């Protein structure tokens, strides 16, 4: 290999800074900053390394430092947003460094001018983010120079300049880079670096939020990030009575519990086989008689949730109070508490055969395995409902359904997958299979249970995490990662929730009761 070729080869290495690197770093700073007062002295450099060696990072090429990122940890509440560079760094002494602090404060990033264009700054920012995550700090905050502002200071305010940089109408060598690295501007601060004439002493207060930050982490009982879902694809068969039905219910609860599932989902109207007892009545009278069993079934499923340590979404069952017949899904938590969600939209068939009426409320349920929502069958075909739940930070949407034909099933499943993508959440659906002779309006079933995800690099390419065999009684058990949702919402390829044009449209829930 020729000597010339050796000189052209890069050998980049990311590492922590050493005391012996001062001359290399000083050379880069002098080149980067026109004002000598903005460069570190050797004593200040020594203080930085002694205070927080892990936070001082560099990239070397063939043994020479070519890019640098400096930082310290602070208790940010002590300084607030209206601080200066000297205040936050202790006038270069770094005696403000606090190992018990909650914020990684970035003091400097600079790159040798011969190495600009190689995106070394991005590598340093990524290393800082990794450090912030590993130290479980709330965020990275930095005061950012806006050196391009000097060209526009006579034409516009700093706020207007920053807005135009955000919109890529103006390029700023510092701010444009920081925005591209997932930092957002909290505010404009003045007199941050009085000697920074290019920025007219203004600066942007920038923040990158650590989405993995865990406050007051406990040894036990922490919020789960990996959640296991168990879905029951239920076969409609004749049952002699409630005990017979509950024997089959317990079998499936026991099965998914053996796999340490956090949730067990049953289909809509899974107790419909008991309608056979009333097959001599007309459909509307039969369904009201079926509602007499609901309270007993729910109480027994609550007991199963406790004894098998699994949260049960008890499909749905009819509820009749003597005036209104409604379709309701119960959440039986494994701590013994219960909640319920009414079906809001009633199909024309349900209305004409049974006289079902829709409920009037919707909510997100807190559980020990994330925030969940429940939409019964037809409701998932109305995108406004799941968007309202997503705005309440829902992680998992459960959809118990009953469909008789393939086209009906495809309506539900296609809409469910869409809800997962557009609301950046997981959606679990399950229905029933088989036949129920002599049960009017519930005679045939079609189902393929599934768990859907958003569609991005961290998720399956087809947005399907798991799928059951078609029209077969079975279960599916699969894990979903809630941290991936958090990451997607902050840094996904597309961000359906964050990028809504709320200046143009919104969804409003009108019922205040």
In a domain, 388, yes or no: yes
Report how far residue 78's alpha carbon sits from residue 88's, in angstroms, rounded to the nearest whole number.
Answer: 10
What is the full per-residue pLDDT of the chain (513 aa) written as tens digits? 444 444 558 889 999 999 999 999 998 988 876 554 567 788 888 988 999 999 999 999 999 999 999 999 999 988 888 888 889 998 888 889 999 899 999 998 989 988 888 889 999 999 999 999 999 999 999 998 898 998 999 999 999 999 999 999 999 988 998 998 889 999 998 888 888 888 888 899 999 999 888 876 665 666 788 999 999 999 999 898 999 999 999 999 999 999 999 999 999 999 999 988 888 888 899 999 999 999 999 999 999 999 999 999 999 999 999 899 999 999 999 999 999 999 999 999 999 989 999 999 999 999 999 999 999 999 999 999 999 999 999 999 999 999 999 999 999 999 999 999 999 999 999 999 998 877 776 778 999 999 999 999 999 999 999 999 999 999 999 999 999 998 898 778 898 988 899 989 999 898 765
Percent of the chain scoring above 70 in pLDDT: 95
Instruction: Identify whether residues 105 and 79 lie together within a single domain.
Output: yes
Instruction: Identify whether residues 337 and 450 lie together within a single domain.
Output: yes
Two tokens, residue 431 = 């229905």
Q: Is 377 a catalytic residue?
A: yes
Q: What is the pLDDT of residues 227-245, one digit of tens each?
A: 999 999 999 998 989 999 9
Q: Is 235 a catalytic residue?
A: no
Instruction: Identify whether residues 230 and 204 lie together within a single domain.
Output: no
Instruction: Identify whether residues 352 and 417 lie together within a single domain.
Output: yes
Antiparallel, parallel or unpaired: β 432-434 and 426-430:
unpaired
Instruction: List, as own/partner pairs, every contact residues 27-36 make where C-beta atoms lie below 8 angstroms and the sequence separation is at least 24, other chains included.
Output: 28/65, 28/66, 28/67, 28/68, 28/110, 28/111, 28/112, 29/110, 31/112, 31/113, 32/110, 32/111, 32/113, 33/110, 34/198, 35/195, 35/196, 35/197
- Active-site residue, from 268, 350, 424, 473: 268
Range of the domain at 61: 12-209
In a domain, 90, yes or no: yes
Instruction: Identify whether residues 76 and 205 lie together within a single domain.
Output: yes
- Active-site residue, from 332, 377, 415, 425: 377
Nearest to residue 293, comparing CAs of 253, 245, 341? 245
Two tokens, residue 205 = 């207060």
- Active-site residue, from 343, 417, 424, 425: 343
Q: Is 268 a catalytic residue?
A: yes
Q: What is the pLDDT of residues 402-419, one digit of tens each?
A: 999 999 999 999 999 999
Based on the structure, what is the number of domains in the chain? 2
Instruction: Identify whether residues 162 and 300 lie together within a single domain.
Output: no
| CATH classification of the domain holding 238 | 3.60.110.10
In a domain, 5, yes or no: no
């Amino acid at each position: 290999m020729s000597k010339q070729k050796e000189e052209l080869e890069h050998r980049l290495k990311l590492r922590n800074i050493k005391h012996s690197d001062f001359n290399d770093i000083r050379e880069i700073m002098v080149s980067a900053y026109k004002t000598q007062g903005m460069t570190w002295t050797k004593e200040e450099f020594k203080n930085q390394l002694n205070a927080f060696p892990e936070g001082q990072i560099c990239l070397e090429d063939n043994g020479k430092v070519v890019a640098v990122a400096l930082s310290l940890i602070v208790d940010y509440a002590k300084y607030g947003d209206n601080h200066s560079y000297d205040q936050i760094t202790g006038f270069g002494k770094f005696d403000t460094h606090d190992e018990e602090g909650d914020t990684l404060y970035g003091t400097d990033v600079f790159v040798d001018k011969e190495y600009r264009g190689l995106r070394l700054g991005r590598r340093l920012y990524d290393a800082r983010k990794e450090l912030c995550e590993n130290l479980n700090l709330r965020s990275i905050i930095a005061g950012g120079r806006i050196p391009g502002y000097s060209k526009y200071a006579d034409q516009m305010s700093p706020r207007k300049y920053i807005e135009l940089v955000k919109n890529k109408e103006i390029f700023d060598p510092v701010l444009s880079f920081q925005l591209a690295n997932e930092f957002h501007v909290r505010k404009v601060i003045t007199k941050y670096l009085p000697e920074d004439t290019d920025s007219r002493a203004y600066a942007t207060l920038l923040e990158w939020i650590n989405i993995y930050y865990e406050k007051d982490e406990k040894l036990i009982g922490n919020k789960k990030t990996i959640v296991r879902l168990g879905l029951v694809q239920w076969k409609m068969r004749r049952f002699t009575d409630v005990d017979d039905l509950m024997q089959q219910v317990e079998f499936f609860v026991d099965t998914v519990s053996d796999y340490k599932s956090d949730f067990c989902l049953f289909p809509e109207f899974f107790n419909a086989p008991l309608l056979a007892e009333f097959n001599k009545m007309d459909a509307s009278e039969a369904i009201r008689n079926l509602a007499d069993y609901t309270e007993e079934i729910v109480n027994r499923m609550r007991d199963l949730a406790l004894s098998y340590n699994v949260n049960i979404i008890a499909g749905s069952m009819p509820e009749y109070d003597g005036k209104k017949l409604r379709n309701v899904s119960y959440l039986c938590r494994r701590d013994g508490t219960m909640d319920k969600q009414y079906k809001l939209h009633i199909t024309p068939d349900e209305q004409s055969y049974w006289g079902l009426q829709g409920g009037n409320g919707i909510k997100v349920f807190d559980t020990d395995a994330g925030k969940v929502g429940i939409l019964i069958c037809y409701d998932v075909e109305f995108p406004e409902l799941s968007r309202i739940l997503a705005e309440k930070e829902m992680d998992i949407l459960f959809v118990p359904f009953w469909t008789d034909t393939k086209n009906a099933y495809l309506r539900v499943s296609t809409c469910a997958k869409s809800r997962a993508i557009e609301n950046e959440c997981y959606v679990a659906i399950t229905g029933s299979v088989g036949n129920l002779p002599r049960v009017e309006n519930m005679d045939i079933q079609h189902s393929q249970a599934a768990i859907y995800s958003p569609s991005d690099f961290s998720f399956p390419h087809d947005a399907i995490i798991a799928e059951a065999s078609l029209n077969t009684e079975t279960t599916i058990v699969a894990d979903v990662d809630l941290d991936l949702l958090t990451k997607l919402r902050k840094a996904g390829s597309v961000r359906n929730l964050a990028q809504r044009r709320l200046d143009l449209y919104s969804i409003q829930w009108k019922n205040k009761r």
